[in-house]
Amino acid sequence: MWRLLAAGGACGLAWACGLRGFMAQVAGPGSTVTWSGTFGWILLPGAVLGALLGWSEYLRRTGGRRRRWLTFSPLLLAAVLLPGITDPAHFLADGIGGGALAVPLFGMAGGYAIAGSGRRSARIACTAVALLPIPGWLIAALAQGSAIGPREVWVALYFWSLLAVLSFASSIPHRRTTTDRLVSYQ
């Protein structure tokens, strides 16, 4: 169990570091790294999310009791919104709030779609939601009116690949357990 928790935590931390790097690319030179903002509200939730998904994988492999609340663990990434609760006027300011909610929701939708369990119509709907960032990013980039060069394409791929990795990781709590598969084959 500890290996999966540690591996999950390390993967979650690496993913959150990648997310922070992406955020720096989008924000440009005005991006700052702080102990509370970067480490407390981005990297720590990413590591905890990874550890929770590692635990979910442990439960899946060992046939342990599934904990459905683990499907909502990507919402830990919205922790960056917590300081804004005291000041509702700035709660969703500068696009931070929208992104802090959208990223985990896209990941959760993608995870449900990838896992292949549940109703087909729900999986199709979740696939559509998970893929929304692709045209959304393109539309936003074109609406700015600036030229699209190699850097802009790289940043878009950076974003889409982060969402893809989050979706694959978020599929873990939805996957069948090892014992579920054994029962279905008999």
The answer as to whether 160 is a domain residue is yes
User: Domain range holding 162?
Assistant: 2-89+101-185
Q: Give the pLDDT band of residue 99 (cuts 50, 70, 90).
A: confident
Of 26-35, 87-96, 123-132, the range with the lowest mean pLDDT is 87-96
The answer as to whether 33 is a domain residue is yes
The answer as to whether 23 is a domain residue is yes
- Convert the pLDDT of each residue in 9-66 to its tens digit: 999 999 999 999 999 999 999 999 999 989 999 999 999 999 999 999 999 999 988 8
Q: How many domains does the chain have?
A: 1
The answer as to whether 95 is a domain residue is no
Helices (H) and strands (E) in the chain, counts: 7, 0
The answer as to whether 120 is a domain residue is yes
- CA 122 from chain centre, in angstroms, equals 19
Q: Which residue in 117, 96, 114 sits closest to 167, CA to CA?
A: 114
Q: Within a 10 A sphere around the Cβ of 98, how many other Cβ atoms? A: 11
pLDDT at 174: 95
pTM of the model: 0.90
The answer as to whether 70 is a domain residue is yes
Q: pLDDT at residue 186 above 80?
A: no
- Convert the pLDDT of each residue in 150-176 to its tens digit: 999 999 999 999 999 999 999 999 998
The answer as to whether 96 is a domain residue is no
The answer as to whether 94 is a domain residue is no
